[in-house]
């Protein structure tokens, strides 16, 4: 066997054995490169006589043809395999079901607050807001709650450290005072927001809760307007056949004051009354403190706990469920 035949056989075997395009290229360099045995043979041609040169030239040409054909065929096969592998690894299954995130939604408290505001906005009220860190002036003084008034202790006020006379508002009633000191009657506002008291959390108490405050001040406003408004509110929130009942109560900022119960019909003919809010006719002192003439104007006000409405409407038995952010609970609403 001539050297060229041996080189040809080696080369064909190496080409067949190359598993990747890189390996194939290494074969090419090894067999035909500058330092290959073949290059040495080619260089020796100039020492041959014309006859021998011609014979060797033909052998080399034949080798090149054979090598190139085998190389090209293998190259094509390996390139196709590489492309297949890449396509396979980058495959997108367009029929696979998408990974769905469960849709989000407003928290139950947000839903109920929005519904409550909608009812009042539908009656012509505007929405007003005030700060959660509030001065004692608005939270207490302008609302006729004096420094030594027992209501001030009952409210378990959280004071803000490092500030004189700043509290986390204990109710949304200070927003009434903010509205009355800046707007002239007629006034009809609802004031939603968070409120704070130094209460330990249990099934019916939370140190953070929320209220919607209502205030109407105009000429000739009476308790009948209050009653009609709260009856309409109760029916829109709890059902068209609800009745309400006003029970005498006391708040420093209203006179007279009333707690309002809404009727319910439970299972098995079981019926009764549930307290939903505090209300009353704005105390003339409060009007005067806020710069409104109590001889000309009267008004009513109310404060509704949003958690309480949400719990009554949706049979939530523990107020803490409204703050725990347990997805299983929240998904129910
Ligand atoms: N601010 C009272 C509370 O948090 C609720 C309330 C009662 C608000 C009577 C009022 C009202 O506006 O007239 O307990």
**Whose C-alpha lies nearest to ligand 1, atom 6?**
303
Please tell me the distance between residue 174's alpha carbon and the centre of ligand 1 in angstroms.
Answer: 10
Residue-wise pLDDT for 157-166, tens only, equals: 899 999 988 9
173 Cα–ligand 1 center, Å? 6
Residue-level pLDDT at 196: 96
Binding site membership of 301 for ligand 1 (Cβ less than 6 Å): yes
Which of 156, 281, 303 gets mutated to test ligand 1 (max ligand atoms within 8 A of its CB)?
303
State what percent of residues in the chain have pLDDT above 90: 81
Residue 173 Cα: closest atom of ligand 1: 1
Each residue of 230-250: pLDDT tens digit? 999 999 999 999 999 999 999
- Using alpha carbons, select from 199, 192, 131, 193 the residue that is nearest to residue 167: 131
- CA-CA distance, 253 to 73, in Å (whole number)? 97
Does residue 173's CB lie within 6 angstroms of at least one atom of ligand 1?
yes
**CA–CA separation, 219 vs 213, rounded Å?**
20
Residue 169 CB less than 6 A away from ligand 1? no
* Structure confidence by residue, pLDDT tens digits, 264-290: 887 777 788 989 999 999 999 999 999
Rounded distance, CA 278 to CA 50, Å?
A: 122
CA distances in angstroms from 129 to 4, 85, 172, listed in the order given: 96, 63, 9
Is any ligand 1 atom within 6 A of the Cβ of residue 140?
no
Q: Atom 10 in ligand 1: which residue has the minimum CA distance?
A: 302
Q: Mean pLDDT across the stretch 220-228?
A: 98
User: Is there an atom of ligand 1 within 6 Å of 174 CB?
Assistant: no
**Which residue, chain included where needed, has tokens 């009942």?**
245
Distance between Cα 251 and ligand 1 center (Å): 7
How close is the Cα of 258 to the center of ligand 1, in Å?
10
Instruction: State the pTM of this model.
Output: 0.72
Tell how far the Cα of 133 is from the centroid of ligand 1, in angstroms: 18
- Alpha carbon nearest to ligand 1 atom 4, residue: 171
- Which three-class secondary structure string do you get for 31-71? HHCCCCHHHHHHHHHHHCCHHHHHHHHHHHHHHHHHHHHHH
308 lines ligand 1 (CB under 6 A): no
pLDDT level of residue 151 (50, 70, 90 thresholds): low
Question: From atom 12 of ligand 1, which residue's Cα is the shortest distance away?
Answer: 302
278 in contact with ligand 1, CB cutoff 6 A = yes
- pLDDT of amino acid 93: 87
Among residues 109, 140, 312, the alpha carbon closest in space to that of 210 is found at 109
E strand or H helix that includes residue 256: strand 254-265
Domain 108-330 top-level CATH class: alpha beta
Integer Cα distance of 187 and 228 in angstroms: 17
Q: Where in the chain is the domain with CATH 3.30.930.10?
A: 108-330
d(CA 173, CA 152): 13
What pLDDT digit, counting tens, does each position of 85-104 carry?
999 999 888 899 988 888 88
Q: Is 46 a residue whose pLDDT tops 90?
A: no
Instruction: Using the mean position of ligand 1's atoms as its centre, give its distance from the Cα of residue 255 in Å.
Output: 12
Amino acid 287: pLDDT: 98
Residue 302 Cβ contacting ligand 1 at under 6 Å: yes
Task: Give the distance (Å) from ligand 1 centre to CA of residue 209.
Answer: 14
pLDDT band, residue 154 (cuts 50/70/90): low
Percent of the chain whose predicted confidence (pLDDT) is above 70: 98
State the Cα–Cα distance between residues 311 and 130, nearest whole angstrom. Answer: 25
Task: Specify the residue with its C-alpha closest to ligand 1, atom 2.
Answer: 303
What is the Cβ-side half-sphere exposure of residue 134, based on CA atoms within 13 angstroms? 28
Question: What is the Cβ-side half-sphere exposure of residue 211, based on CA atoms within 13 angstroms?
Answer: 27
Distance from residue 108's CA to the centre of ligand 1 (Å): 23
Does the beta carbon of 171 lie inside 6 Å of ligand 1?
yes
Nearest CA to ligand 1 atom 9: 279
């Amino acid at each position: 066997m001539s050297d060229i035949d041996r080189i040809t056989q080696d080369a064909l075997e190496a080409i067949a054995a190359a598993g990747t395009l890189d390996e194939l290229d290494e074969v090419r360099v090894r067999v035909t490169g500058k330092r290959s045995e073949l290059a040495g043979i080619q260089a020796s041609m100039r020492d041959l006589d014309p006859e021998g040169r011609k014979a060797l030239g033909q052998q080399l040409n034949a080798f090149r043809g054979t090598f190139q054909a085998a190389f090209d065929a293998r190259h094509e096969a390996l390139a196709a395999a590489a492309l297949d592998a890449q396509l396979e690894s980058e495959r997108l299954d367009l029929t696979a079901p998408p990974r769905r995130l469960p849709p989000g939604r407003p928290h139950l408290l947000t839903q109920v607050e929005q519904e409550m505001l909608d009812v009042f906005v539908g009656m012509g009220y505007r929405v007003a807001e005030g700060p959660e860190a509030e001065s004692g002036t608005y939270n207490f003084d302008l609302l006729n709650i004096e420094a030594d008034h027992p209501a001030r202790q009952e409210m378990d006020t959280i004071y803000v450290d490092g500030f004189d006379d700043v509290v986390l508002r204990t109710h949304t009633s200070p927003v009434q005072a903010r509205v009355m000191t800046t707007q002239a009657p007629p006034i009809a506002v609802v004031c939603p927001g968070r409120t704070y008291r130094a209460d330990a959390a249990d099934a019916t108490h939370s140190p953070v809760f929320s209220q919607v405050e209502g205030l109407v001040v105009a000429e000739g406003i009476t308790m009948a307007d209050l009653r009609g408004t709260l009856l309409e509110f109760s029916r829109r929130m709890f059902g068209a056949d609800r009745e309400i009942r006003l029970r005498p109560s006391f708040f420093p900022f209203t006179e007279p004051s009333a707690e309002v119960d809404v009727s319910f019909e439970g299972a098995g003919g079981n019926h009764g009354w549930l307290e939903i809010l505090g209300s009353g006719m704005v105390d003339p002192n409060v009007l005067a403190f806020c710069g409104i003439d109590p001889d000309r104007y009267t008004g009513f006000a109310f404060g509704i706990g949003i958690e309480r409405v949400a719990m009554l409407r949706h049979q939530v038995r523990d107020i803490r469920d409204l703050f725990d952010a347990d997805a299983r609970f929240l998904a129910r609403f």
